[in-house]
Structure 1
């Protein structure tokens, strides 16, 4: 089913994104995570690989594709392959999206990605066939084979001016063919409410899922200090730092706060929740146990 249609049929869409260190050996991690979900299936799922290649790397995409098909067929979960905007070769892309289509996958997530240096382009067999992500979305949308998702960044930008800039980019992406958006990880619900209100003022009829990332280890906390320090409620940040050297306490605080965010967002009537998970069955089990309780409490929303 097209992800855009899920939002027509459900009051709340719940999806997950798994972070995998590599394609080789990632299958065990992926299926271990799925088994830890306590019987609660997400509406769809996607996989992010550490090298950020997406599925459009000509060497590895067949392995990625098989893994996605196994997830869909064995667990009856819709899958969302990633297509990286920068440096993608048009000829290779056409082959891949044809194979995606023939495998009856109806959804693609289009990401900007990182621009490679000229020497790396030649080495990896990629090219600059698309000048930007809008051109890529438009190219894929004209084939009329997929529901196209993209990302938005409310917590990347702090000022109202930057928020307006990102919202205007969403408008452009919608005009190019995107029909669903996923927010990168959010740590302050107040920010997302302001962001969605700004989008609503543009009268865009598009579903937006809020990204939730449980902070459960010291490395994630270091990343928070680098990128999100000013965007996390100070009381929460203080608590996380207090237990930075206590692995179990830090993990439990991170899980509790993520579930608090999720419950508040569901109560507010948000379109969907997109949960970012790492390879930790304990965290996955706790998150989905808590999610089950929240959904029952909110009459199945």
Structure 2
């Protein structure tokens, strides 16, 4: 099923993200985690591509297993910064052969040492390529606090509009920890004529070490309320995990209460985190 069709339904949707293993030796443990998350019957699951496409061969395998064995709608990530047109065409062919019709088009992380782009510089170029390669439902990424490489938020939204105009059917946000930032972003993009569905991406921070990495990756603002949680529970792994899941769940509840019906959880391959959030929303999701 195409995600664009899921997002048209008059209901709250909850989806989860998983990532492939970095090495073949960890494939089975990752596959087990993704299967446990699939057993929660989310509205869809996304499978990441890995930095520089390093885990691309596993993306197709895991996505295909989720679709065929667990009847889960799948969104396969595809990044382009280190890819040639031939490599992208091959990946799209493999996805098509496995019946995967949803693709999240990403530029991808710039490798250390500088950009080694072959045929693509921007995600909008990849979107156009996918659009030309077949009947895929195409998603894109957006950044409520602005992309870390953008000069300012105004420029970032202009680039986002280019990506949507190229053919994105929906957008998913980078992680954010302050819902007011998201609400402000939503107002600004709608004002600029971006009308495709926007899925709110939520990252449960379940250990203190994730905080620094999350800030580095996304440039996300950490509210004082959340910093207090890390200060108080950061040295107690069990308490930090519980507090992180509760904080993320409260974000989701606030979003839904304010009319945001589509939520994507960055689960970090942790079935217990996905299950904890879903259980706390059991009546809300009915």
Q: Is 1:43–2:43 an aligned residue pair?
A: yes
Q: Aligned to 1:71, what secondary structure does the other structure show?
A: helix
Give the structure 2 partner of residue 106 of structure 1: 101
> Cα distance, 1:34 vs. partner?
3.8
Q: Which residue does 2:62 correspond to in 1?
A: 67
Q: Which shows bigger deviation, 85-94 or 209-218?
A: 85-94
- Equivalent residue runs for 1:104-183 within 5 Å: 104-116=99-111, 128-156=118-146, 162-183=152-173
Task: Say if 1:96 and 1:136 are closer, same or farther in 2 by CA, change over 3 A.
Answer: same
Q: TM-score, normalised by structure 1?
A: 0.84
Structure 2 residue matching 1:43: 3-state secondary structure: coil
Task: Output the CA distance in 2 between the equivalents of 1:152 and 1:173.
Answer: 10
Aligned equivalent of 1:13: 13
- For the aligned residue pairs, the C-alpha RMSD in angstroms reads 2.8
Q: Deviations over 1:178-202 (max 9, x none)?
A: 1111101110000000000111112
Q: Name stretches of at least 5 consecutive residues in structure 1 with no aligned partner.
A: 122-126
Paired positions, count: 284
Larger RCO, structures 1/2 (Cα 8 Å, 6+ apart): 1
CA 1:29–1:293 in structure 2 vs 1: closer, same or farther (change >3 Å)? farther
Change (3 A) 1:224 1:195: same
> Greater CA radius of gyration, 1 or 2?
1
Q: Show the 5 A alignment for 1:1-301.
A: 1-22=1-22, 24=24, 25-35=26-36, 40-48=40-48, 51-54=50-53, 61-116=56-111, 128-156=118-146, 162-224=152-214, 226=216, 231-295=221-285, 300=286
Residues 48 and 27 of structure 1: CA distance in aligned 2, closer, same or farther (over 3 Å): farther
Distance 1:23 1:267 in 2: 41
Query: Does structure 1 conserve the Cα–Cα contact (< 8 Å) formed by 2:4 and 2:170?
Result: yes
| C-alpha displacement of 1:3 | 1.1
- Tell me: CA distance 1:132–1:171, structure 2 relative to 1, closer, same or farther (3 Å): same
Moved more, 20-29 or 163-172: 20-29
Partner of 1:124: none
Please tell me whether the aligned partners of residues 19 and 277 of structure 1 are also in contact (alpha carbons under 8 angstroms). no
How far apart, in 2, do the equivalents of 1:228 and 1:93 lie? 26
Counterpart CA distance in 1 for 2:97 and 2:34 is 27
Shift in CA distance, 232/140, structure 1 to aligned 2, threshold 3 Å? same
| Corresponding residue SS for 1:154 | coil
Structure 2: distance between partners of 1:104 and 1:227? 32
- Hey, what's the Cα distance between the residues in 2 that align with 1:23 and 1:149? 27
Deviation of 1:23 (Å): 5.1
Question: Which segments of 5 or more consecutive residues in structure 2 lack a partner in the other structure?
Answer: none
